[in-house]
Amino acid sequence: MLGRRHLMAAALGTVTLGAVRSTNSTDPSSPHADRASPGKTSAPTDHSAEGPVPDRVSSILAAMSLRQKVGQLFVTVAHGSTADSPHPGNREDYGVDTPAEVVREFQLGGIIHFSWTDSLREPRQIAELSNDLQRTALDSGAGIPLTIATDQEQGAVTRIGEPATALPGNMALGAARDPHRAARAAGITGRELRAMGITQNFAPVGDVNVNPENPVIGVRSFGSDPELVARLTRAQVHGHQDFGSAVDTVSATVKHFPGHGDTSVDSHTSLPVIDHTAEQWRRLDAPPFRTAIDAGTDSVMTAHIKFPRLDDSGEPATLSREILTGMLREELGFEGVVITDSLRMEGVLELHPNEPVSVLAFRAGADQLLMPRDLSAAIESVIAAVRSGELSERDIDRSVTRILRMKDRRGLFDDPLVDPGAVGRAVGSERNARRARRITDSTVTVLRNDSGLLPMRERPGDVLVTGWGADTVAELARLVRERGPRAEALPTGSSPDGETVERVTARARQHEAVIVLTSAAWKEANSAQRDLVRSLGETNTPVIAVAVRDPYDAAHAEQVRTWLTTYSHRTVSVESLARVLFGEVSPVGKLPVPVPDPRHPGRDRYPFGHGVTW
């Protein structure tokens, strides 16, 4: 196997596939780190599958067996923190013991890292795991490097925590309304991921969140306005793919086509239905995907959602040829890699519990097939479909070519490995932290300041910090104390009972000010949070309420005359909140979604674009 790998590399005239990247290429603080900036990015080149296929891609494809080609279509998890560590999850899922054996046995095209697979402990470990999986791929089968992916959307979906740089999520960036900052955030994220050996980020989310009760998108969306979402989606595609040379960047994956923004059902657990007409889709859902394609996104992820007025077959988009081929490929002109959302989700299995959904998704127009429930059976089903004539090997070749071109664009055939010794400088640098603070300071949105409590330049003597999130309450109390006042932290959880509400209200009367945090209090299941805020608002103590996730909470407690929203409870957002509260920075965030008035259906309590500043 090893001999074949070196023969292929020599024949194609490539750099040795096992080459290790230089320190500078992994270090954002190096002189080369800013060779592309938001206003001065390197020109996007060769971003789509159109045009001539590189010679080495054609040569690799010509040397592959059908089984090797089919393996390239699949991206799945491998359990374990090192490539050679046995893990019961691998035995249960694949009948082998180690991550390396998963790659070797199935000749995979890609791996996706999660915390629940024990793949994401800390940056150096991630880099070493990624390297060893790449070495395994290079030394087996066709000797083709892997795509290594994760979902580092930032904000609500962040797979890799500290010391990786924390940045605001999409709705927060929507509040900032600055494509430059959105691109910079994606650039930081992308370069840090690549330093850890991750080559594909399943981001940005391009869904237009027009449904306040959306259970799965919400703050993961840039907002409710198609034009705003399109501008920021485009910026993040450039940030992921164009801030540096190929070996410094990652493939962007815009999701979830044709749009997940108007659902009230979670596609992880059921099959949502969106009733948009074709005209509504073109006006509302399509613009972010259209601009992402124009920006050169390497890949687009599908949604497990039925659109009966776009395709009357009854199939979810992931399995719909009308949607993936007719709309994404033909109407929008996308020629890059189409990847499914996880094929383990109920949204795709509900209609086909006993059928080979991998074959159905490929036939619809997908290239990469993500996390099938039974990988071995899925691979065999695709091979059998080719041999029976249900699928053509020509279509397999077309998809594999797209996948190989994506790998080529990210420099994987030249430089698939990273330098674990450089990870400490590249990931979580102070320079990136400073940039993250500046970006996040532009996202905090003041919705109401009727009593003039803000900014708190005349510091109260003591403050009660209470409400949702024990860690978040404690963190904000610490930040308040750093600024002079005494602060008591009294978390209540997501559903405080009546006794807790009474106890906290009594404590509030003994303080000079109260800061109360909410998270998804608009949901009926969390209505007790509203009871707490209302009870606090009926005291004589000044109350500042902060929605640390969706801004919709602010419409549910009119007794409180000071409301802010941060769109996230991560530390970087809480720190920016403290700076706004105490007048260290001025709030500039504007609502990227309207906040409906629950008392007057059809009316907004706070309109799109609303935001108080000083």
Instruction: Please list the active-site residues.
Output: 341
C-beta separation of 442 from 573 below 8 A: no
Which residues, 6 or more positions from 536, have their beta carbon under 8 angstroms from its beta carbon? 466, 504, 505, 508, 514, 516, 543, 560
Which whole-number Å values give the CA distances from 491 to 172, 496, 515, 516, in the listed order? 24, 9, 11, 9
Q: Which two tokens stand for residue 495?
A: 């559903």
* Pick from 278, 121, 270, 298: nearest CA to 202: 298
Tell me whether strands 299-302 and 337-339 are parallel, antiparallel or unpaired: parallel
Tokens of 587: 């709030």
Q: Using CA atoms, how far apart are residues 33 and 287, in angstroms rounded to an integer?
A: 31
- Whose CA is closest to 583, among 478, 465, 458? 458
- Contact call for residues 328 and 298 (beta carbons, < 8 A): no
Burial class, 434, CB count within 10 angstroms (exposed 0-12 / middle 13-18 / buried 19+): exposed
- Cβ neighbours around 128 below 10 Å, total: 18
CA distances in angstroms from 68 to 132, 163, 611, listed in the order given: 20, 37, 55
Which residues 6+ apart lie within 8 Å of 487 measured at CB? 462, 463, 464, 465, 477, 478, 480, 481
Q: Helix, strand or coil for residue 18?
A: coil
62 exposure class (CB count in 10 Å sphere: 0-12, 13-18, 19+): exposed
**Nearest-angstrom CA–CA distance, 379 and 46:** 30
Give CA–CA dist 172/241, Å, rounded.
Answer: 22
Bridge partners (DSSP) of residue 596 are 604
Would you give the DSSP letter of residue 273? B
DSSP secondary structure letter of residue 322: I
Closest CA to 29 of 417, 422, 418: 422
Question: Exposed e or buried b for every residue in 304-325, given b needs 16+ CB within 10 A?
Answer: bbbbeebbeeebbbbbbbbbbb
CA distances from 49 to 60, 331, 401, 587 (A): 16, 16, 8, 43
What phi and psi, each to the nearest 5 degrees, are found at residue 142? -85, 0
SS3 of 547-613: ECCCHHHHHCCCCCCEEEECCCCCHHHHHHHHHHHCCCCCCCCCCCCCEECCCCCCCEEECCCCCEC
